[in-house]
Homo-oligomer: A and B are copies of this chain.
Amino acid sequence: MADTATPLTMDTIVSLCRRRGFVFPSSEIYGGIGSTYDYGHYGVLTKNNIRSLWFRSMVQERDDVVALDSAIILNPRVWEASGHVAGFTDPLVDCKTCKLRFRADQLEHASCGKRPSKRPGDTSDCDLTEPRQFNLMFETQVGALRDASSTAYLRPETAQGIFINFKNVAQLARRKPPFGIAQVGKAFRNEITPGNFLFRQREFELMEMEFFVPPDDAEEWHRYWIDARRSWYLELGLREENLRARAHGAGELSHYSSATSDLEYQYPIGWQELEGIANRGDFDLTQHTRESGTKLEWVEQDGTRYTPHVIEPAVSIDRIMLAFLCDAYDEEVVGDRERVVLRLHPLVAPVKAAILPLIAKDEGMATRARALYEELRRYHVVEHDEGGQIGRRYRRQDEIGTPWAFTVDEQTLEDETVTVRDRDSLAQERLPIAGVRAWLDDALARDWRSPQSR
């Protein structure tokens, strides 16, 4: 919020998301289902953009990374080998008085349910049990038989689907380390205390890439990926002052990790993990080799063998979208009117352009606007809006971050030009209606990789 003194709150973003149909609580007519959200039209479009921009930079534009889409329900032995059955747990305490459940390691955020007016962290009225380990994997049963042999899990990360396919994919893709396998898909964690809007949900869409390297090169590649991922956010317009890299201390490391750096974003709730970039070492391949009997190692042409180390950039689309929305949110006064504007990067913005007839009832304007819309939508996500005053239509597009609006007006009927309005500068210029498609193509194909001034 460059132009306002008031700090952005999560409520402001939640409210914009609901008002404009980016995101709303799931199953609302049935009272919801704890901290789960459904994505509306603009939310889906934004997520599609984030997913394809990630895929483009991680797979399409590299020749050392290939794609994979493994199943959500894998053979349950995968999760025994990976350590998740034994160790993917949070410490849980129950209060015998107020019956709430808390994470024992996050009691500073808890408060007693009997005395809800108390400050967070005050559970002094609670009668807490000893902490017990609660496994965060969702369980289910596969097949018609319901017993221990049919128990399976919803994946809590997509990474294991990659590790078990390491040998397979390396052969098929004719790749040798350093090379990576990238995957996008839903993951599920039965969080004790989900919350903070899109930040911590029980289901979320992960984008993970496991990069297999010779052990001696692991540290260097770890640094490489921290830099590469940081650059990706900056190129897509995230403000540098809201992004930082932070190395985990020894006590914070996951069971599989020998080093992790978080890219943290300054959300309205403070600095929090946006993306984790872990050096998983040879933990996973070694475990699966031991448990499956299949050697997940690399054999050089001279016969030398080694188990590759793995660098993993892992992030959820949900957290990226939340960061982009917070970062882009702005309120400003223009003339005598206030406007909310999402200054999203054009490649992230859900709608690329709006096509507006100045006076919808004017048949000449309506016909030309409609024809332009029908031409453009074959190539880009664009909107046609003929409802209400032009100022109101502009503000509606500002709120969803549409970078450009093409308006068909009186002059169009004379000289076949339209105005193009820039979301950020509010500058308007005229261009021939026949040139709009090429203008928009060019604007979107421009090399956005250079830092933007906003």
- Give me the interface of A with B, judged by CB distance under 8 Å: 20-21, 24, 26-34, 36-41, 43-45, 47-48, 55, 60-61, 63, 66-75, 77-78, 92, 101, 134, 138-145, 152, 154, 161, 164-165, 167-169, 172-174, 185-186, 188, 190, 192, 202-203, 288, 291-294, 296, 373, 377-379, 381, 384, 387, 445
Contact B69 A192 (CB under 8 A): no
Inter-subunit contact A39/B69 (CB<8 Å): yes
- Asked if A169 and B21 make an inter-chain contact with CB atoms under 8 angstroms apart, the answer reads yes
B27 contacts A71, C-beta separation under 8 Å: yes
Q: Which 10 A-B pairs have the closest CB atoms?
A: A21-B172, A27-B75, A44-B67, A39-B69, A30-B75, A29-B292, A41-B66, A29-B294, A38-B70, A33-B75
Q: Measured between alpha carbons, how far is A64 from B445 in the docked complex, in Å? A: 28
Contact, CB under 8 Å: A384 / B71: no
A68–B143 contact, CB under 8 A? no
Q: A28-B164, A38-B161 are in contact. List 13 more A-B contacts (CB 8 A).
A: A24-B165, A26-B74, A27-B74, A29-B164, A29-B293, A32-B75, A37-B71, A40-B169, A40-B172, A63-B373, A72-B186, A141-B190, A186-B186
Q: A75-B33, A134-B144, A142-B202 are in contact. Are A41 and B68 (CB under 8 A)?
A: yes
Min Cβ gap A87→B in Å is: 17
Contacts of A384 in B (CB 8 A): 63
CB of A42 to closest CB in B, whole Å: 9
Which residues of B lie under 8 Å from residue A37 when comparing CB positions? 71
Known: A26-B74, A74-B26, A77-B30. A101 touches B38 (CB 8 A): no
A167: chain B residues within 8 A (beta carbon): 29
Contacts of A32 in B (CB 8 A): 75
User: How distant is the Cα of A37 from the Cα of B73 in the complex, in angstroms?
Assistant: 10
Q: Which B residue sits closest to A350, measured CB to CB?
A: B67
Smallest CB–CB gap between A1 and chain B, Å? 24
The answer to whether A69 and B92 have CB atoms under 8 Å apart is no
13 pairs, A vs B, C-beta closer than 8 Å: A21-B172, A29-B167, A30-B77, A33-B75, A33-B152, A38-B69, A40-B68, A40-B169, A41-B67, A41-B169, A44-B68, A60-B381, A72-B203
**Interchain CA distance A142-B24 in the complex, whole Å:** 20
- B378–A30 touching, CB < 8 Å: no
Number of copies: 2
With both chains docked as a complex, state the minimum distance between the C-beta of A357 and any C-beta of chain B, in angstroms.
14
Does the CB pair A173–B41 fall under 8 Å? yes
Decide: A172 near B41, CB < 8 A? Known: A26-B71, A140-B140, A381-B60: yes
Which chain B positions have C-beta within 8 A of A29?
A: 164, 167, 288, 292-294, 296
- Enumerate chain B residues within 8 angstroms of A296, measured Cβ to Cβ: 29
C-alpha gap A173/B40 in the complex (Å): 9
Across the interface, which residues of B come within 8 angstroms of A44, CB to CB? 67-69
A63 to B382, CA, bound (A): 10
In the complex, the answer to whether A67 meets B45 with C-beta atoms within 8 Å is yes
Least Cβ distance of A389 to chain B in Å? 15
B78 adjacent to A30 (CB under 8 Å)? yes
Min CB–CB distance A94 → chain B (angstroms) = 8
A146 to B, closest residue via Cβ: B139
Given the known A-B contacts A101-B144, A140-B140, A173-B41, are A27 and B78 also in contact in the complex, defined by CB atoms under 8 Å? yes
A38 partner, pick from B68, B152, B203, B288, beta carbons under 8 A: B68
User: CB distance B138 to A140 under 8 Å?
Assistant: yes
| Minimum Cβ distance to chain B for residue A219 (Å) | 28
Shortest distance in angstroms between A53's beta carbon and chain B's nearest beta carbon? 12
A295 to chain B: closest CB distance in Å? 10
Which chain B residue lies CB-closest to A294? B29
A31 partner residues in chain B, CB cutoff 8 A: 75
With a 10 A CB-CB cut-off, give which of A48, A71, A164, A168 has the most chain B CB atoms: A71
Q: Which of B36, B55, B139, B381 contacts A73 (CB 8 A)?
A: B36
Q: Which residues of B contact A24 (CB under 8 A)?
A: 165, 168
CA of A169 to CA of B141 in the docked complex: distance in angstroms? 34
Q: Which residues of B contact A165 (CB under 8 A)?
A: 24, 38, 40
